[in-house]
């Protein structure tokens, strides 16, 4: 078992955005590492698919259908989760997130799109943390891992809302880390670059079809445009490995940090 071992009970994790992509992969990894896992997202059916995989590993899964932007919905989901977990939370991973509009400049970006990105990528993690940090502090242990992005480490033309949300997530995480550190709780950001999740693969495939070229050509051009030193995108497993590290023994004395997983863009 890699994940933080608590004081005898089976560890419990809550992972948001666990209905697809990176969040789903993280939720399954937490189960592989010995956790029972609460999985939160808006699509119940997709969450049930994740739950099946967790249960196949012999762990318990609690499906929590909620919109992370919605204060009441998150409060209700956390209440159900804590009743299910016996009041414990050892690991909280906030992976729910949206990219928002691609290519719109600050002058073109509409306010509702900006607000939606901030509400999902910042308010969401704030809401889960506001409920679960006190629980972790009472326990005297806990790991919070927020999935940021390397656009939260730099500016990016045409990605102002997304970059703003991921920068702000760092501020939230660092501040919380200082507050909860004396109680044995850590809070960190994992900041990936492009991850080859289904949503991204579809985008590359659509572009390849539109241009009549292979997906390899599109991917190579994309990686080139980002300036990725290692010349490859992340697989979800790259991000998962870093989350596992922070949730496990290696993360015991690491807090208030951002770990960039982007193949060498932010260098």
Shortest reach from residue 194's CB to ligand NAP, in Å:
4
Active site residue 162: yes
Contact 263, 233 (CB under 8 A): yes
With CB under 6 A as the contact rule, the residue among 149, 170, 180, 188 that binds ligand NAP is 149
Closest CA to 89 of 18, 3, 189, 175: 3
Contact pick of 55, 199, 231, 252 for ligand NAP (by CB under 6 A): 199
Candidates 27, 30, 147, 180; binder of ligand NAP (CB under 6 A) is: 147
Whose tokens are 């509409």? That residue is 110
Count residues near ligand NAP (CB under 6 A).
27
169 binds ligand NAP (CB under 6 A): no
Looking up tokens 């989901």 gives 77
Q: Which of 162, 180, 242, 255 is catalytic?
A: 162
Separation of alpha carbons 13 and 50, rounded Å: 14
Q: How far apart are CA 246 and CA 54, in angstroms?
A: 20
Does 194 interact with ligand NAP (rule: CB under 6 A)? yes
User: If binding is defined by CB under 6 A, does position 152 make contact with ligand NAP?
Assistant: no
| Residue number with CB closer to ligand NAP (69 or 244) | 69
Contact pattern for ligand NAP over residues 116 through 135, marking x by CB under 6 A: ----x---------------
Specify the stretch interacting with ligand NAP by CB under 6 A; choose among 53-61, 104-112, 129-137, 193-201: 193-201
Phi, psi (degrees; rounded to nearest 5) at 35: -90, 145
Residues 16-75 that bind ligand NAP (CB under 6 A): 16-17, 19-23, 41-43, 46, 67-69
Which residues here bind ligand NAP, judged by CB under 6 A?
A: 16-17, 19-23, 41-43, 46, 67-69, 95-98, 120, 147, 149, 192, 194-195, 197, 199-200
């Amino acid at each position: 078992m890699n994940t933080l071992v608590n004081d005898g009970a089976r560890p419990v994790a809550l992972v948001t955005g666990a209905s697809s992509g990176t969040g789903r992969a993280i939720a399954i990894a937490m189960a592989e590492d010995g956790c029972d896992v609460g999985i939160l997202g808006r699509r119940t059916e997709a969450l049930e698919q994740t739950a099946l995989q967790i249960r196949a590993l012999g762990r318990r899964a609690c499906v929590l259908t909620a919109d992370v932007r919605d204060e009441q919905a998150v409060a209700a989901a956390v209440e159900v989760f804590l009743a299910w977990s016996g009041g414990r939370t050892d690991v909280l991973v906030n992976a729910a997130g949206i990219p928002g509009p691609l290519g719109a400049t600050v002058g073109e970006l509409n306010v509702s799109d900006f607000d939606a990105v901030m509400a999902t990528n910042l308010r969401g993690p704030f809401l889960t943390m506001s409920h679960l940090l006190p629980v972790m502090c009472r326990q005297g242990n806990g790991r919070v891992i927020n999935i940021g992005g390397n656009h939260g480490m730099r500016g990016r033309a045409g990605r102002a809302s997304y970059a703003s949300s991921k920068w702000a997530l760092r501020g939230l995480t660092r501040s919380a880390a200082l507050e909860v550190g004396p109680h044995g709780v850590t809070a960190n950001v994992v900041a990936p670059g492009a991850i080859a999740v289904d949503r991204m693969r579809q985008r590359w495939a659509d572009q390849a079809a539109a241009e009549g070229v292979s997906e390899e050509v599109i991917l190579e051009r994309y990686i080139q445009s980002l300036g990725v030193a290692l010349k490859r995108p992340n697989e979800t497993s790259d991000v998962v490995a870093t989350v596992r590290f922070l949730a496990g023994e290696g993360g015991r004395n690491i807090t208030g940090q951002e770990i960039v997983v982007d193949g060498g863009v932010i260098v």
